[in-house]
Chains A and B, each alone.
Chain A
Amino acid sequence: MTADQILAEIREANLSYLMLAQSLIRVDTEQALYRLGISEDTAKLIGALTPAQMMKIAASNTLLCRFRMDDDIVWGLLTSHGKAAANESVNRLHASILLAGRHQEAA
């Protein structure tokens, strides 16, 4: 991947993310807060962005969104590298419960 390609792909990903986030927020703000894991203030800002603003924000060399989990437990559950006893769908539910319990970052 050349540097130009990298920049183009990042811009693309950022733009898709912003557009998805905005439509989620416009459909149902509260549920969007859960889906996106952002605060109400951030949601208000994203909801009010114009297309031109989005294009500008998206054009960057870094991604706008990042992972919501940074611990071994959730990663282990999602990739099923953890315990062998439980099966995949139990692990995924387990991961969802753990992620849903983390509202400190959003609030």
Chain B
Amino acid sequence: MARNKSILTEARQIERAVTLIQLGARLQVLESETDLSYERLLRLYKEVAGKSPSKGQLPFSTDWFMTWQPNIHASLFLNIHEYLNKVSELDEIDVVIKAYQLYLEQTQSQALEPLLSVTRAWRLVKFVDNGMLTLTKCSCCGGHFVTHPYEIAKHYVCGMCNPPARAGKGKLAGALQIPPAPGRVAADAAAHAH
């Protein structure tokens, strides 16, 4: 790739890279989204994050986005992303950054763990661009949710209109929870007593 000669462009790219690092992006994201050299990115990463970047492959599976809770987070992010895409003219990576910041705010305001990392969010946008994932309209609430592209749109019902049996039973702090139906509480209490 031809090295960028413009200092202004480079300054903008460094600024972008710093924002991404602060949001917790993996080095591969920076490599793909800026023209800065690997060595410079590595130095920048250590300077901003105060530690060496994590090694290893990026999460590559689309299945993660299909499980109940991640799907809700991913759908929220992607809806924000689409919104920004429609109303403004930004570079692709800037849309990801701004949408991710808005997503973080939303989870913070509800004291939820932001399950979707910025790296995953970036991957999600790539998956959608490549047609490996898409947004499908829920036939029940009309919202748009992340699905595989071959989902039958006419009958699709989202995980919030129709939560799967085990959904919302996790006890982790910051996780989405669905309280059990009143009848179940007594049964659970009885089970715990033994």
Q: Among the listed A28, A30, A40, A87, which residue makes an inter-chain contact with B179, where contact means beta carbons less than 8 Å apart?
A: A87
A89 and B141 form a contact (CB under 8 A): no
With contacts A98-B143, A101-B144 taken as known, whether A33 is within 8 angstroms of B168 at the C-beta atoms is no
A97 and B145 form a contact (CB under 8 A): yes
A85–B142 Cα distance when bound, in Å, is: 19
A93–B163 Cα distance when bound, in Å, is: 14
Q: Cβ of B21 < 8 Å from any Cβ of A?
A: no
A96 and B179 form a contact (CB under 8 A): no
A-contact 0/1 string along B35-79, CB 8 Å cutoff: 000000000000000000000000000000000000010011001
A96–B177 Cα distance when bound, in Å, is: 17
Residues on the A chain within 8 Å of B95, using CB:
30
A100–B142 Cα distance when bound, in Å, is: 12
Report the minimal beta-carbon distance from A90 to chain B, rounded to whole angstroms.
5
Kindly specify which of B4-12, B24-32, B98-106 makes contact with the partner chain. B98-106
Report the minimal beta-carbon distance from A83 to chain B, rounded to whole angstroms.
8
A73–B139 Cα distance when bound, in Å, is: 13
Residues on the A chain within 8 Å of B80, using CB:
34, 100
**Number of residue pairs spanning A and B whose beta carbons lie under 8 angstroms apart:** 96
With contacts A101-B144, A103-B83 taken as known, whether A96 is within 8 angstroms of B76 at the C-beta atoms is yes
B176 and A89 form a contact (CB under 8 A): yes
Residues on the A chain within 8 Å of B98, using CB:
28, 30-31
Count of interface residues, chain A, beta-carbon cutoff 8 Å: 26
Residues on the B chain within 8 Å of A31, using CB:
84, 98, 101-102
Residues on the A chain within 8 Å of B111, using CB:
89
Q: Cβ of B132 < 8 Å from any Cβ of A?
A: no
B-contact 0/1 string along A84-95, CB 8 Å cutoff: 011101101110
Q: Cβ of A106 < 8 Å from any Cβ of B?
A: yes
Q: Cβ of A80 < 8 Å from any Cβ of B?
A: no
Q: Which of B101, B112, B143, B181 has the most CB of A within 10 A?
A: B143
B-contact 0/1 string along A35-47, CB 8 Å cutoff: 1000110000000
Residues on the B chain within 8 Å of A101, using CB:
79, 82-83, 142-144
Q: Cβ of B160 < 8 Å from any Cβ of A?
A: yes
Residues on the B chain within 8 Å of A73, using CB:
141-142
With contacts A30-B98, A97-B76 taken as known, whether A90 is within 8 angstroms of B160 at the C-beta atoms is yes
Q: Cβ of B130 < 8 Å from any Cβ of A?
A: no
